[in-house]
């Protein structure tokens, strides 16, 4: 499917998976609005993306704050002129035992990873329904397929994302909207490196650009075909 001149919103787009996806989109001629909480990082990424010859905008907001989301998404769509693709990438993680993790940390993970995705999608979806076409890519995790010790909050959030995403997919297929649920294993993203869960060895460990390639592959399928869900693993980390 031809993607040039499509309009995309990418949450958490200033670094890691979001930035890699934005670069891949820009190389295909897709105009982009990226969102995040760090304005300096957003500005740096926008400057880099503009060298690729597309229109790029940014909005600063916390996906876990619905009032901020409403204003931010409205501005994104106003700047882009319309929206065709939403990549729900923004997310946070923390590790700790069930008894020791602070309740506030647990709540923040759910607020950002689950409600954040809900808030953003709620604001974008009416535009796609009006167009009777669109793509929503929801970034989950293999942690949403199987639980593990010391990741209860993160795992619970990603289980919820998968349920939300798969339910939405079945609801909006009739509107020619494709909803993709992606469940990558550990990727050498900024977040994974900061948390110390991978050394990021590019010879062995999944890189953000690998994940971006998967997203693009799903979008390039004919409109009659939809990659409903997919997992991406490192071959031999």
State the sign of the Cα–Cα–Cα–Cα dihedral 111, 112, 116, 118. negative
DSSP code of residue 138: E
What's the CA gap between 108 and 14, in Å, rounded? 20
**Annotated catalytic residue within 58, 118, 119, 154:** 154
- Is residue 237 within 8 Å of residue 205, measured between CB atoms? yes
What's the CA gap between 114 and 167, in Å, rounded? 14
3-class secondary structure, 58: strand
- Is residue 33 within 8 Å of residue 10, measured between CB atoms? yes
Verify whether residue 154 is a known catalytic residue: yes
3-class secondary structure, 37: coil
Token pair recorded at residue 11? 């949450």
Strand 229-232 and strand 31-36: the pairing is: unpaired
Give me the active site residues, please. Answer: 154
């Amino acid at each position: 499917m031809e993607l040039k001149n499509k309009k995309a919103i990418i949450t958490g787009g200033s670094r890691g998976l979001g930035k890699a996806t934005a670069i891949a989109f820009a190389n295909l001629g897709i105009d982009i609005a990226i969102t995040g909480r760090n304005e300096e990082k957003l500005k740096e990424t926008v400057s880099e993306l503009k060298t690729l010859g597309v229109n790029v905008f940014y909005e600063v907001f916390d996906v876990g704050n619905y009032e901020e989301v409403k204003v931010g998404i409205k501005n994104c769509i106003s700047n882009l002129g319309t929206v065709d693709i939403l990549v729900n990438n923004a997310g946070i993680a923390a590790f700790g035992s069930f008894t020791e993790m602070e309740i506030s940390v647990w709540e923040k993970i759910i607020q950002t990873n689950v409600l954040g995705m809900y808030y953003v999608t709620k604001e974008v979806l009416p535009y796609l329904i009006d167009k009777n076409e669109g793509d929503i890519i929801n970034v989950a995790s293999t942690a949403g397929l199987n639980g593990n010790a010391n990741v209860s909050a993160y795992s619970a959030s990603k289980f919820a994302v998968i349920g939300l995403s798969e339910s939405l997919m079945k609801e909006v297929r009739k509107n020619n909207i494709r909803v993709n649920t992606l469940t990558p294993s550990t990727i050498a993203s900024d977040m994974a490196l900061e948390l110390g869960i991978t050394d990021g060895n590019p010879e062995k460990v999944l890189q953000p650009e690998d994940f971006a390639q998967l997203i693009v592959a799903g979008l390039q399928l004919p409109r009659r075909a939809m990659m409903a869900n997919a997992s991406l693993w490192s071959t031999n980390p």
